[in-house]
Amino acid sequence: MERQLKLTMAVPISTKSEAIKRREVRLERLHRRRQKRLAFSAALMIAAVAAFLFFSTKSPQAFSASGEFKLANPADLPPAPEGPAPFEGVKLGVVSSGTETGEPGEPAAMAAQLQELPQESTAEPEVQEPRQVLQAVPTQAQVISYPEGAPMLYYAQSGDSLGVLAVRFGVEVQDISSSDPLPSDGFIPEGQLLLIPNRLDETTSPLKLIPDSEVVNSPSAVGFDVDEFVRQAGGYLARYEEAVYGFGTMRGADIIEKVALEFSIHPRLLLALLEYESGWVYGGPQTNQQKTYPLGVSNSDTIGLYKQLEAAAGIIASGYYGWREGTVVVLEFPDGNEVRLSAELNCGTVGLMHFFSKQGNFPEWAEALYGEKGFAWTYQNMFGDPWLRAVDFEPLFTPDVLQPELQLPFEKGVTWSMTVGPHAAWGAAAVRAALDFAPPSAETGCQTNWAWVNAAGPGLVVRSEDGAVVVDMDGDGNEQTGWNIIYLHIATNKRVPVGTWVEAGDHIGHPSCEGGISTGTHLHIVRKYNGEWVPADGPLGFVMSGWRAKAGSASLSGWLVRNDQVVKASVVGATSSHISLDD
């Protein structure tokens, strides 16, 4: 099914003819505005091409024909056409059931809107001769075969560590060498040249598609006004409202900001995906499928914008942090086929790849990522070149980054239980960054508890709502920058308010079941740095009062280790899980 990238639609769709007329009017306006911007760029491009042809003719030996892969350069993407351009979208299923997601309290109006949307065809598809997948996808999407036994030269990226690189390349840690010293623990300096034996057979292209700082809610998101962007775009999202459990009726832009903040996913990425999948930002949904599942995650539990964004954020984060931790090295498609990821990719690209691998099989995935009018084309038309922006904000991690000194978040003399080892930071984001602790109690389940959760370190409280307290340790007021400590399941009663400066040991609040899903009163504590969730058992290990977190192989398992002392996580609060803050 073909769709169009509606960069100009600003009013609700009423009839097909009206939509076409309105689109043509705004496209003409957009075209006139863009002509001035493109004129100068076109002149530079012509000059560059002329210079290239001149020098290549004069000195052909100066140019390499080695066929080396190069990083993605969105500037090479074709400019947006003068009119809306049809392109293949992610393969969508037929909606069998759904809920109304329009204006609350107006079911009749919603029913009328749904009837006006064109229905997806149920006709039998035309039978075609089978063809090889690699002949049907963009060249850049085709798998890469490496010469057997040939060593690879690899330049370290931000956040790389020896153990994870060994997993990505399928080698042992001792097989990786460099002319410069390699840290056994911690991050490898960005740009350090490594020599790694090639043990991989076929992988995806090593082409990087999007920088890390444009995937996580990083310093590059500071100052980006979601509400103003959505208002100026003037599409369906600008008028959309939805009832969100526990928060009442929320506007579309507010939902984007909420998910971006809670899941630490960049709001620009969420907006671009929403436009690519359903046209909500500049235009509006064209089918019931796009209206009910605007991010294309077709699941009866993910109906509506908020649930769709939550699901999408979780899928992206699982790929991003799975690559960071070395737990994701293969993509699996809905039809069961798999492809090994190139070891040279960055976390942001893998997060995007992971999302689209859940939306369709290999051909649809390849078209979305590498097609002429794929996601990169949509993103650049909306926000410009992400790689140019990343120059000012990356690397997100440097080898000299250290966790600030933290202490256990309890009052002295009070014994708590470590109930869960390193596990998911927030929602479905599969990054093992959080630890859980339960206060002393004679009762199980969600019971009122008057034990105090104390600040693990100093900082400014920048968020205090829905069971969550966020302490910004650098005090600049932005969750996207520096170190942040998040305390979840903090009771409303006596919870520290926004704007409070706390020191280590000051009261944060009382543990509870508020915020998220919880089966018992406890504290969920996790760290972020420059917008990234920081794995508890990694190069920047979670250390409090000298206790270092270690992840177990089984789900929810783990330990805290200090010298020869060991505390073992137990969901039932066994004696071996007991821990307290020393005097």
Residues 248 and 381 in one domain: yes
Asked whether residue 545 is assigned to any structural domain, the reply reads yes
Residue segments in the chain with a per-residue pLDDT below the cut of 70: 1-137, 139-140, 146-149, 428-429, 583
Asked whether residue 106 is assigned to any structural domain, the reply reads no
Asked whether residue 528 is assigned to any structural domain, the reply reads yes
349 φ/ψ angles, rounded to the nearest 5 degrees: -65, -40
Residues 393 and 444 in one domain: no
CATH number at residue 451: 2.70.70.10
Last residue of a domain, one of 374, 399, 424: 399
Residues 518 and 571 in one domain: yes
Residues 434 and 322 in one domain: no
Query: Given this model, what pLDDT does residue 182 score?
Result: 94
Query: Given this model, what pLDDT does residue 444 score?
Result: 87
Residues 428 and 332 in one domain: no
Other CB atoms within 10 A of residue 132 CB: 7
* Domain assignment of residue 168, given as a range: 152-197
Residues 531 and 557 in one domain: yes
Query: Given this model, what pLDDT does residue 149 score?
Result: 66
Q: What is the 3-state secondary structure (H, E, C) of 329-371?
A: CEEECCCCCEEECCCCCCHHHHHHHHHHHCCCCHHHHHHHHHC
Asked whether residue 86 is assigned to any structural domain, the reply reads no
Number of domains in the chain: 4
Asked whether residue 72 is assigned to any structural domain, the reply reads no
Last residue of a domain, one of 364, 399, 434: 399
Asked whether residue 235 is assigned to any structural domain, the reply reads yes
Last residue of a domain, one of 57, 73, 94: 57
CB 403 within 8 A of CB 409: no
Asked whether residue 554 is assigned to any structural domain, the reply reads yes
Query: What does the alpha-carbon distance between residue 176 and residue 182 come to, in Å, rounded to a whole number?
Result: 9
Residues 251 and 330 in one domain: yes
CB 198 within 8 A of CB 152: yes
Residue type, 518: S
Query: Given this model, what pLDDT does residue 517 score?
Result: 81
Residues 271 and 168 in one domain: no
- Which residue has 């821990």 as its token pair? 579
Q: Which two tokens stand for residue 323?
A: 């690559």
Residues 267 and 379 in one domain: yes
Q: What is the dihedral of CA 322, 325, 330, 334, to 10 degrees?
A: -20
Query: Given this model, what pLDDT does residue 151 score?
Result: 84
Query: What does the alpha-carbon distance between residue 308 and residue 401 come to, in Å, rounded to a whole number?
Result: 35
Instruction: Give CB contacts under 8 A, 24+ apart, made by 327-336.
Output: 327/430, 328/354, 329/167, 329/168, 331/204, 331/357, 331/365, 332/357, 333/357, 333/360, 333/361, 333/362, 333/365, 334/358, 334/360, 334/361, 335/361
Residues 225 and 186 in one domain: no
Residues 565 and 514 in one domain: yes
Asked whether residue 71 is assigned to any structural domain, the reply reads no
- Which residue has 């990425």 as its token pair? 269
CB 156 within 8 A of CB 191: yes
Q: What value does the CA radius of gyration of the chain take, rounded to a whole number of Å?
A: 26
- Which residue has 């796009």 as its token pair? 290
Query: Given this model, what pLDDT does residue 148 score?
Result: 67
Residues 431 and 386 in one domain: no
